[in-house]
Amino acid sequence: MKYCAQCGAPNTDEAQFCEKCGNAWVAAPVVSAPGPVVAPAPMPGVAPGTVPPARTGPRPAIFIVAAAMLLVVLGAVGVGWLLFMQPMDIAAYEDKVTEDVIATAESVTTMGEAFNDVDTSYDEPIGDENLAMLQDAVAEGIDGVQAARDDLAGLRPPKEYKRSHDRLVASYDRMLEGLVVLKEMLGEITADDTSSTLSEKFSDRTDDFSTKLEKSTADMQKSLEDMGLYESLSDELSNMF
């Protein structure tokens, strides 16, 4: 049994129209259960609940200025590098070589004077004081020669001096090798050693030391002669070895 929504008269369940007023029966709408509400995914880099910043377009003027500044910097670096790599002026190069060779001669001469100042006879012990003096003199001599060598190696020789320059630097390397041999020998000497015992103890290494210095001196002289500088430096070089 169902009742008409318009007049309230009872009707059978199968009736499609009200038996009293003729009103058509309308089926009740089916209401589905509401589904879950899905929140939209947040934008990358934006915290939930905040409004993302408005996008702005590129600023061509800033990019152009930045690119121009970069080109200026790179150009300045390139020009500086090219200027640095240019060979030195001949006069400036000769002055630097002369300065370094004189400094070398002074270092080696001072070292040699220390050996001449050893006040013992051939058969007397060297003693602690003399040994310390010789060791210090050789160490200082090596430092002086090394400094001159490094300065020479950093020069940019004129093209016509390139071969002589390389030979000159190599002569310094050989000189340093000889001085290192001398330093090692002094490190093995005791205060009780005498000059006579040392000549027997280091006979082979003394020959090695002498050979290296002779070769170094010959190469240095040849290099300076090719540069036209040997004559002006002959007095300093004659006192070296």
pLDDT per residue over 18-71, tens digit each? 778 877 766 544 445 555 655 556 556 555 556 555 555 555 566 576 666 666
**Position 82 in a domain:** no
107 in Cβ contact with 145 (< 8 Å): yes
Among residues 91, 220, 211, which one has the least CA distance to residue 158?
91
**Position 169 in a domain:** yes
Residues near 143 by beta carbon (within 8 Å), at least 6 away in sequence: 107
112 in Cβ contact with 145 (< 8 Å): no
What the block records as the tokens of 129 is 């004081």
Number of domains in the chain: 1
Domain extent for 213: 89-238
What the block records as the tokens of 221 is 């002289």
**Position 13 in a domain:** no
Residues 161-191: pLDDT tens digits? 999 999 999 999 999 999 999 999 999 999 9
Mean pLDDT of the chain: 81
**Position 71 in a domain:** no
**Position 38 in a domain:** no
Q: Measured between alpha carbons, how far apart are the two ends of the chain, in Å? A: 138
Residues near 43 by beta carbon (within 8 Å), at least 6 away in sequence: 52
Is pTM, for the whole model, over 0.85? Answer: no
Q: Region 98-121: what's the mean pLDDT?
A: 91
4 in Cβ contact with 21 (< 8 Å): yes
